[in-house]
Amino acid sequence: MNPVLEVAGLHTEFAVEHGTVKAVDGVDFTIEQGGILGMVGESGSGKSVTGLSILRLLARNARIAEGKILFHGEDLLTKSDREMREIRGRRISMVFQNAMTALDPFFRVGDQLVEVIRLHQRVGRREARLKALEAMELVRIPDAARRMSSYPHQLSGGQRQRVMIALALACGPDLLIADEPTTALDATVQKQIIDLLAEVNRELGTAILMITHDFGVVARLCRTVAVMYAGKIVESGSVRKVLETPEHPYTQRLLGSVLRLRPPEVRRVSA
Ligand SMILES: Nc1ncnc2c1ncn2[C@@H]1O[C@H](COP(=O)(O)OP(=O)(O)OP(=O)(O)O)[C@@H](O)[C@H]1O
């Protein structure tokens, strides 16, 4: 099967006052169709910049200096801005950590979904509303029809993140980039959102790039993992292999801190 995404030799840098910051420094990875890759690493390791490079949503002082980003075999770095606008949201979409800032506080969530659907698909208002409702149901928002007329602040943090995922999935993308989508949520809601992403992946076959600093999230959701450190992937492979026999000292350290953070009973069970 052909991969959905192949990133090869990606270098992304930022111009800063006294030179350049090499945020992504020669990164290669592949996501198979329907695959879920976890990209894990500590803050500042270059995970978000990798995700944003794929969609070419980088800050003004950024430059993709080298590399290829093949989506279904076509290099996104050669696409025009117009072509990229077509791809974003429709074929590749992204969810971020903070749903409250990404949703417009002054519009009902149903209307925001309808707007996104109509932006990308040639459908009438009525059909767009049906699709919006389907998306709300897909992400298991209880009483979805009524919830369509809620404003973002009337929903819980978990429900808002579900709406964000609904927005991201409304146009049936092949690839979802999820950048720390559960970090701002409490542990129980975090698990529910991760399980939702797993269901979406199973039911729709949407490939997922899960960006996280949390190996627990990787273990629960992903099949393969790439560990990032200082702009490079220092280790990658199946989640099982990397979790059981981490080779790179940085991965061992990262895993060590996860185990220390877990309560003793969890440690016993997983030991
Ligand atoms: N606009 C910018 N200008 C200069 N440097 C930047 C800019 N955006 C990001 N960087 C730098 O790029 C590097 C990688 O950042 P990135 O946000 O990808 O890290 P991360 O692994 O996603 O961490 P986090 O989880 O905190 O988002 C960091 O050193 C960061 O300071």
Residue with the nearest Cα to atom 2 of ligand 1? Answer: 14
Q: What does the alpha-carbon distance between residue 194 and residue 137 come to, in Å, rounded to a whole number?
A: 16
CATH code, domain carrying 167: 3.40.50.300
pLDDT in tens, the chain (271 residues): 789 999 999 999 999 999 999 999 999 999 999 999 999 998 999 999 999 999 999 999 999 999 999 999 999 999 999 999 999 988 999 998 776 677 899 999 999 999 989 988 889 999 999 999 999 999 999 999 999 999 999 999 889 989 999 999 988 899 999 999 888 788 888 899 999 999 999 999 999 999 999 999 999 999 999 999 999 999 999 999 999 999 999 999 888 876 655 554 444 444 3
Instruction: Say whether 66 sits in a helix, a strand or coil.
Output: strand
Residue with the nearest Cα to atom 6 of ligand 1? Answer: 14
- Provide the ipTM: 0.94
Residue with the nearest Cα to atom 12 of ligand 1? Answer: 23
The pLDDT of residue 218: 94
Q: What does the alpha-carbon distance between residue 201 and residue 204 come to, in Å, rounded to a whole number?
A: 6
Parallel, antiparallel or unpaired: strands 175-179 and 3-16: unpaired
Regarding the beta carbon of 173 and ligand 1, being less than 6 Å apart is answered no
Report the interhelical angle of 125-138 vs 157-169 (nearest 10°).
130
The pLDDT of residue 267: 44
Regarding the beta carbon of 183 and ligand 1, being less than 6 Å apart is answered no
Which residues form the domain of 209? 3-270
Q: Which regions of the chain does DSSP assign to beta strands (E)?
A: 3-16, 19-32, 36-40, 62-71, 74-75, 92-95, 175-179, 207-212, 224-229, 232-238
Q: What does the alpha-carbon distance between residue 107 and residue 118 come to, in Å, rounded to a whole number?
A: 15
Residue with the nearest Cα to atom 30 of ligand 1? Answer: 44
Query: Are the C-beta atoms of residues 207 and 3 closer than 8 Å to each other?
Result: no
Phi, psi of 107 (to 5 degrees): -120, 145
Q: How many other CB atoms are found less than 10 A from the CB of residue 18?
A: 5
Residue with the nearest Cα to atom 19 of ligand 1? Answer: 44
Phi, psi of 161 (to 5 degrees): -65, -35
Compute, in angstroms, the gap from residue 107 CA to the centroid of ligand 1.
Answer: 31
Instruction: Say whether 225 sits in a helix, a strand or coil.
Output: strand
- Domain count within the chain: 1
Residue with the nearest Cα to atom 29 of ligand 1? Answer: 44
The pLDDT of residue 100: 64
Compute, in angstroms, the gap from residue 173 CA to the centroid of ligand 1.
Answer: 26
Compute, in angstroms, the gap from residue 150 CA to the centroid of ligand 1.
Answer: 34
Phi, psi of 27 (to 5 degrees): -105, 135
Regarding the beta carbon of 22 and ligand 1, being less than 6 Å apart is answered no
Instruction: Say whether 227 sits in a helix, a strand or coil.
Output: strand
Q: How many other CB atoms are found less than 10 A from the CB of residue 167?
A: 24
Closest CA to 24 of 238, 249, 226: 226
What separation, in Å, do the N-terminal and C-terminal C-alpha atoms of the chain show?
Answer: 36
Regarding the beta carbon of 43 and ligand 1, being less than 6 Å apart is answered yes
Regarding the beta carbon of 41 and ligand 1, being less than 6 Å apart is answered yes
What atom of ligand 1 comes closest to residue 180's alpha carbon?
25
Task: Name the residue of 20, 43, 58, 183 to mutate for ligand 1: max ligand atoms within 8 A of Cβ.
Answer: 43
The pLDDT of residue 269: 43
Task: Name the residue of 49, 52, 232, 250 to mutate for ligand 1: max ligand atoms within 8 A of Cβ.
Answer: 49
- pTM attached to this predicted model: 0.90
Closest CA to 235 of 253, 261, 259, 258: 253
Residue with the nearest Cα to atom 28 of ligand 1? Answer: 44
The pLDDT of residue 265: 46
The pLDDT of residue 262: 54
What atom of ligand 1 comes closest to residue 21's alpha carbon?
5
Closest CA to 223 of 43, 31, 4: 31
The pLDDT of residue 27: 98
Q: What does the alpha-carbon distance between residue 115 and residue 254 come to, in Å, rounded to a whole number?
A: 41
